[in-house]
Amino acid sequence: MPRPSVIPTVKAALEDYLERMQVAFLAAPEDLRVPTLPATPDGKVNVRALAQAVDLKQTQEKYLYERQELTTLINLVAEGQGLMPIGSRLLVDAADKALKDRMARTAQSAKASAQAAVEAQSATAELLEKLRDVVLENESLKAQNMRFKAQLDMIHSGMMVGVQD
Amino acid sequence: MSVLKDQFEDTVTVQRVVYQLDRGCIFAGELSDGRPIRVKFAGNDTHPLPGDTFHVRGLVDSYRDKFGKTVVQINSKHMHRVVTAGLLLKPWLERLPNIAGTRADRLIRAFGHDLQTVLNDVSRAHDVAKLIEPTKPALAAKITSQLYAAVAIQAGADQIRSAELEFLTFLETLGLQQSRIAGQLWRFMAGFDAVDRLKRNPYVPASLMDWKPADRIGQRLLRAAYEGADLQTHPARLVGALNSVWRDILSEGDTAATEATVKAQLEKRGVDPDTTIRLAEERGSLRRIGVLLRAPGAAWIEDQIVSALLAMESTQPTVPISAGQGLESLVYDAEMETGLTLTNEQHGAVALLLTLPVAALQGGAGVGKTTVMKVLATCWERLGGNVVMSALAGKAALTLSKGASTSARPRLAYTIARLIGMAQRQALQTENPAFKRPASDVDFTSTTLLVVDEAGMLDTPSLHKLLSFLPEGARLLFVGDEGQLPPVGIGKVFHDMVAEGSRVAKLTQVLRQAADSDIPKVSALVRDGKVPPLAAWSGQTKGVFVVPGAQIESVQRRLRGKTELMVIAARRATVEAINESESLEARNKTTPTRRLGPFATVAVGDPVVAAVNRYQDGLFNGLLGVVDSIASPEVSIKWDGEREPRSLPKEAEADIELAYGITCHRAQGSSSQAVVIVVEESRLVTREWIYTAITRSLELVILVADVETLTKGIERRTRRTTGFSLPARSPMGAAHIGQRP
């Protein structure tokens, strides 16, 4: 029988730890908040220290890099605290990052109190509305791009097909 | 699932994508009740991912997997992406980071069909967060934000899919059933307002499909938009008819036509030719050259190529070429270095070509073109330049690599498509130095001499693409044979340059095969339009012979397995028939076979050909090989020019075809000891076709033909009309060239 995977255990420990760190982060006054996750001097989340904090063996540390379900979880909290995520490839592009930062800032403003939660919710709603607009604009531009490319491909096959917009 | 006889129509959620091709895919999926199903889809622009849902229409079939298990397979040509809703969201949710598994289940259990509504309503975020992780509210809030953002993004993508669905449905109401054309039309009209855009451009379909159905669609759209207008003479219809004419002309490879030809075609389409031409002229969309009218897109490409070539010629030389005695000595030294002794004609050609920034080397079979390229490359390298060698087909590149290399100086030749890829990557790296390219990529520099072998096969768009990436200062030499078939694609730049003549070195003296073979003599006669006197074949191993059509099978049986054999036919149907009958003949009932794709079921020993370029797998269109083993999970093939057989990647299997018989275009880059040519009564069989086929052989040619068909074939010409016109180059003191020092 195959050995049971250690990942679910690691994930559970990690979630508990991240929850504690996020609560501690939100508990501080907004203008005094500093990352509660361990960080490297250049502002990235410190995976080694994090592994130690959740009592991982040194040989298990690699899971935090390699297993997507663990990496995305850490990054979700790390980015909210203003830390660079694991693996810079995850930053798709500057626009995505800006959007994520804004969402992170909104999340940061959430207070434990009910009033703060309502405020945070309306801020998220507004942000989501903007996101929807941006997504539609993006889809529209992608379609335009597709139309131009179709015309260009046609020219390369010898035809010129004019399409009035 | 609604099953009417063997019709299928239902919603399928993708579990695993088995094959993804440009024009179709195969995937394993699940019906809404959880039953597994396999879908084979033929159509463009559909790239399913696990979790996507499609509405599939098609015929019920079955598929036997490699373990012998039979599963239901739907063969579909109509498949639309379904906007995910309610419970169908589950596979999508499971793909999201931090949601997978238990959390997705919790959401589905709690909200069921309302899930989509909930995930679009941010006031419910609190409820969602509680379900996601009841004991960790801070983490749950973060995951919930991420989920809501993903839903918003998905909703945007769904809207455009809905627009596509609406557009395709609209096309169906117009009577357009072909999914390939519908997919192409979507690319032209894509957007939330695609239907309106099509109404504004009712005759765009005429550029993509046959005139009759396109005209029907155009008239219906026009009638709806302009009630009471004269549809027959509407400008949109006239422009559509002209585009339809260009489409037909381009499909023959021509890029221009006489005005009379265009007018006759317009008349066939039921529009007034004079009014149409006048309208195109008024709109500035008609291009002329001499007595010819030019297809507008092709004209643009051709003119771009002319500009690029002229720019090459006007660039200050980056590698200094001395004239007179210095040039002669250079060629002589290169001959010494390579150990080759050139004929006067070859020596003169090398010296002339060195002085031309853009040049063509023309020569028929066996005149020593490769020898000239080898000495020329040596000269160029001695002057400090670098040489990049290329050919269109994979096997031609391999042959050129062997022919132009010495043990001291190996020279790799690449296929044109591969070079374009390399040049593109180099351009990307110039723009963005952080971009990494493979170490095996060649560098194009201002001192590069690019040699394109078999240039007669290079179509105009490919040349345009290649030129657009060459750095300033680079030079270009085309090498080819104008007697051969023109490219499969449009245009014929090499043939046009040779016809113009001011940048051409010609080799006429046949050196190869001459001593003991009739092939050069016979091919030269064919090239000149004469029917060669041929004896009937009775088992000889060298020479050119004829056998009657009835012996097509017996000839192959006598030769196959005893010598390297290539069988060439013109019609696709004939090639397929040869492949079927010869592969059956080679097997018995117990021979193990393996299905590679729709085009080939193979057994060990079968000849095969790669049908597309797959550079990542080292396969080139036209590369021939023999199946070595089918026992392991991957088929193993010994490719021409390689020492060891190698495994064929799974995803390349569908691009392999049997090669008991091949078309002449696919054979163009290759050669074989014996060649059997099926000379059919077909407009494809022309003087150039027969000449190309004969010159594929190294020793034995057998024409399966009767005299009448052969005579007609040799009389028939491959004619191609183009608007390419490179101005003559002014002579630059080349009078001294052509004599040994």
Contacts of residue B579, defined as CB under 8 A and 6 or more positions apart, other chains included, come to B657, B658, B659, B660, B661
CB contacts, 8 Å: A139 with chain B: 156-157, 159-160, 192
**Nearest-neighbour CA in chain A from B229: distance (Å):** 20
pLDDT digits (tens, 9 = 90+) for A3-30: 778 888 888 889 999 989 988 888 888 7
B152 and A165: CB-CB below 8 Å?
A: no
Q: For strands B53-64 and B256-258, give the pairing.
A: unpaired
Residue to substitute from A70, A119, A154, interface B, most B β-carbons within 10 A: A154
Nearest CA in chain A to B461: A156
Nearest CA in chain A to B240: A161
B156 and A18: CB-CB below 8 Å?
A: no
DSSP H helices in B177-234:
179-189, 194-200, 211-225
Residue showing tokens 């003599």: B521
Determine if residue B7 is left, alpha or beta; phi over 0 gives left, psi from -120 to 50 gives alpha, anything else beta: beta
Q: What b/e string do you get for B41-56 counting C-beta neighbours within 10 Å, with b at 16 or more?
A: bbbeebebebbbbbbb
Which residue in B97, B192, B243 is closest to A161 by CB distance?
B243
B295 and A159: CB-CB below 8 Å?
A: yes
pLDDT (average), residues B142-166 = 86
Which residue in A19, A144, A158 is closest to B136 by CB distance?
A19
Which residue in A125, A144, A154 is closest to B297 by CB distance?
A154
What band does B93 get if pLDDT is binned at 50, 70 and 90? Answer: confident
pLDDT (average), residues A69-91 = 79
pLDDT value at B690 more than 50: yes
Domain boundaries, chain A: 7-86, 88-160
State the Cα–Cα distance between residues B76 and B60, nearest whole angstrom.
Answer: 9
What band does B667 get if pLDDT is binned at 50, 70 and 90? Answer: confident
pLDDT value at B518 more than 90: no
HSE, CB side, 13 Å, CA atoms: give it for residue B726: 30
Q: Choose between A80 and B210: higher pLDDT.
A: B210
User: Within its chain, how far is the Cα of B187 from the centroid?
Assistant: 20
> Number of residue pairs across A and B with CB atoms under 8 Å?
149
Contacts of residue B241, defined as CB under 8 A and 6 or more positions apart, other chains included, come to B203, B206, B211, B215, B266, B269, B270, B271, B276
- What residues does B16 pair with on adjacent strands? B28
Q: Which two tokens stand for residue B51?
A: 């979790």
**Nearest-neighbour CA in chain A from B658: distance (Å):** 29
- What residues does B662 pair with on adjacent strands? B568
pLDDT (average), residues B313-339 = 90
Answer for the pair B7, B59: CB distance below 8 angstroms, yes or no. Answer: yes
B190 and A147: CB-CB below 8 Å?
A: yes
B148 and A140: CB-CB below 8 Å?
A: no
pLDDT (average), residues B264-284 = 96
CB contacts, 8 Å: B200 with chain A: 164
Q: What is the pLDDT of residue B4?
A: 45
Q: What is the pLDDT of residue A94?
A: 53
Q: What is the pLDDT of residue B49?
A: 76
Q: How is the beta sheet containing B287-289 ordered, strand by strand?
A: B256-258, B292-294, B287-289
Q: Which two tokens stand for residue B254?
A: 């021509």
Nearest CA in chain A to B723: A158
Number of helices and strands (H, E) in chain B? 25, 28
User: Within its chain, how far is the Cα of A118 from the centroid?
Assistant: 23
Q: Choose between B702 and B14: higher pLDDT.
A: B702
CA angle B563, B567, B571 (to 5 degrees): 175
**Nearest-neighbour CA in chain A from B86: distance (Å):** 20
**What are the start-end ranges of the E strands in B364-439?**
386-391, 413-415
Q: For strands B7-21 and B448-453, give the pairing.
A: unpaired
Which residue in B126, B139, B190 is closest to A15 by CB distance?
B139
Answer for the pair B736, B324: CB distance below 8 angstroms, yes or no. Answer: yes
Which residue in A80, A140, A146 is closest to B187 by CB distance?
A146
State the Cα–Cα distance between residues A20 and B139, nearest whole angstrom.
Answer: 9
Which residue in B188, B301, B464 is closest to A161 by CB distance?
B188
CB contacts, 8 Å: A142 with chain B: 160
pLDDT (average), residues B300-308 = 96
3-class SS at B127?
A: helix
State the Cα–Cα distance between residues B540 and B368, nearest whole angstrom.
Answer: 27
B100 and A69: CB-CB below 8 Å?
A: yes
Is the ipTM of this structure higher than 0.85?
Answer: no
A157 and B297: CB-CB below 8 Å?
A: yes
Contacts of residue B119, defined as CB under 8 A and 6 or more positions apart, other chains included, come to B89, B128, B147, B148, B151
B138 and A19: CB-CB below 8 Å?
A: yes
Answer for the pair B239, B247: CB distance below 8 angstroms, yes or no. Answer: no
A135 and B156: CB-CB below 8 Å?
A: yes
CB contacts, 8 Å: B155 with chain A: 132, 135
Q: Which two tokens stand for residue B578?
A: 């040869």
Contacts of residue B221, defined as CB under 8 A and 6 or more positions apart, other chains included, come to B174, B198, B199, B202
Residue showing tokens 């201002």: B446
**What are the start-end ranges of the E strands in B65-120?**
70-81
Average pLDDT over chain B, rounded to an integer = 88
B207 and A121: CB-CB below 8 Å?
A: no
Query: Quick one: DSSP state of residue B441?
Result: S
pLDDT (average), residues B639-659 = 85
Residue showing tokens 């509407």: B234
Contacts of residue B618, defined as CB under 8 A and 6 or more positions apart, other chains included, come to B639, B646
A138 and B246: CB-CB below 8 Å?
A: no
Residue to substitute from A14, A69, A163, A165, interface B, most B β-carbons within 10 A: A163
Residue showing tokens 């449905």: B169
CB contacts, 8 Å: A37 with chain B: none
**Nearest-neighbour CA in chain B from A58: distance (Å):** 24
Residue B603, amino acid: A
A125 and B461: CB-CB below 8 Å?
A: no
State the Cα–Cα distance between residues B65 and B655, nearest whole angstrom.
Answer: 20
Answer for the pair B205, B214: CB distance below 8 angstroms, yes or no. Answer: yes
**What percent of chain B is predicted at pLDDT more than 90?**
50
Task: Specify burial of residue A76 (Cβ count, 10 A radius: 0-12, 13-18, 19+).
Answer: buried
Q: What is the 3-state secondary structure (H, E, C) of B241-299?
A: HHHHHHHHHHHCCCCEEEHHHHHHHHHHCCCCHHHHHHHHHHCCCCEEECCEEECHHHH
CB contacts, 8 Å: B122 with chain A: 121, 124-125, 128
Contacts of residue B401, defined as CB under 8 A and 6 or more positions apart, other chains included, come to B389, B410, B411, B412, B413
Residue to substitute from B121, B132, B145, B467, interface A, most A β-carbons within 10 A: B145
Query: Quick one: DSSP state of residue B408?
Result: S
State the Cα–Cα distance between residues B559 and B23, nearest whole angstrom.
Answer: 37
**Nearest-neighbour CA in chain B from A68: distance (Å):** 8
Q: Which two tokens stand for residue B13?
A: 């959620």
A159 and B200: CB-CB below 8 Å?
A: no
State the Cα–Cα distance between residues B81 and B83, nearest whole angstrom.
Answer: 7
Q: What is the pLDDT of residue A1?
A: 56
**What percent of chain B is predicted at pLDDT more than 70?**
94
pLDDT value at B391 more than 70: yes
pLDDT (average), residues B189-215 = 95
- What residues does B477 pair with on adjacent strands? B359, B451
Element spanning B707, H or E: helix B707-715
- What residues does B462 pair with on adjacent strands? none
Angle between helices B460-469 and B416-431 (to 10 degrees): 30
The 10 Å Cβ neighbour count of residue B443 is: 12
pLDDT digits (tens, 9 = 90+) for B440-488: 899 999 999 999 998 998 889 989 989 998 999 999 999 999 999 888 7
pLDDT digits (tens, 9 = 90+) for B487-517: 878 999 999 999 999 999 999 988 765 456 7
Nearest CA in chain B to A147: B188
B298 and A110: CB-CB below 8 Å?
A: no
**What are the start-end ranges of the E strands in B512-639?**
535-536, 543-547, 565-569, 594-597, 600-602, 607-610, 624-629, 636-639
pLDDT value at B549 more than 50: yes
Residue to substitute from A147, A148, A165, interface B, most B β-carbons within 10 A: A147
Residue to substitute from B99, B122, B136, B139, interface A, most A β-carbons within 10 A: B139
Query: Quick one: DSSP state of residue B444?
Result: P
Q: Which two tokens stand for residue B120?
A: 């679009």
State the Cα–Cα distance between residues B340 and B348, nearest whole angstrom.
Answer: 14
What band does A113 get if pLDDT is binned at 50, 70 and 90? Answer: very low
Give me the phi and psi of B569, to 5 degrees please: -135, 160
Answer for the pair A25, A112: CB distance below 8 angstroms, yes or no. Answer: no
**Nearest-neighbour CA in chain A from B272: distance (Å):** 21
The 10 Å Cβ neighbour count of residue A129 is: 12
B143 and A117: CB-CB below 8 Å?
A: no
Q: For strands B413-415 and B358-363, give the pairing.
A: unpaired
**What are the start-end ranges of the E strands in B512-585?**
535-536, 543-547, 565-569
Q: Which two tokens stand for residue B160?
A: 């455009």
What band does B710 get if pLDDT is binned at 50, 70 and 90? Answer: very high
Residue showing tokens 């995305």: A72
State the Cα–Cα distance between residues A92 and B299, nearest whole angstrom.
Answer: 40
CB contacts, 8 Å: B141 with chain A: 107, 110
pLDDT digits (tens, 9 = 90+) for A148-160: 999 998 998 899 9
Nearest CA in chain A to B200: A164
**Nearest-neighbour CA in chain B from A158: distance (Å):** 4
State the Cα–Cα distance between residues B542 and B545, nearest whole angstrom.
Answer: 9
Which residue in A15, A138, A150 is closest to B156 by CB distance?
A138
Nearest to B221 by CA among B170, B267, B187, B268: B170
Q: What is the pLDDT of residue B641?
A: 66
State the Cα–Cα distance between residues B521 and B532, nearest whole angstrom.
Answer: 9
Q: What is the pLDDT of residue B109?
A: 82
State the Cα–Cα distance between residues A164 and B645, nearest whole angstrom.
Answer: 54
Answer for the pair B508, B494: CB distance below 8 angstroms, yes or no. Answer: no
Which residue in B139, B160, B207 is closest to A154 by CB distance?
B207
pLDDT (average), residues B635-659 = 86
**Nearest-neighbour CA in chain B from A49: distance (Å):** 20
State the Cα–Cα distance between residues B630 and B611, nearest whole angstrom.
Answer: 19
Element spanning B531, H or E: none
Which residue in A103, A143, A159 is closest to B247 by CB distance?
A159
**Nearest-neighbour CA in chain B from A41: distance (Å):** 25
Q: What is the pLDDT of residue A110?
A: 46
State the Cα–Cα distance between residues B653 and B594, nearest whole angstrom.
Answer: 10
CB contacts, 8 Å: A54 with chain B: none
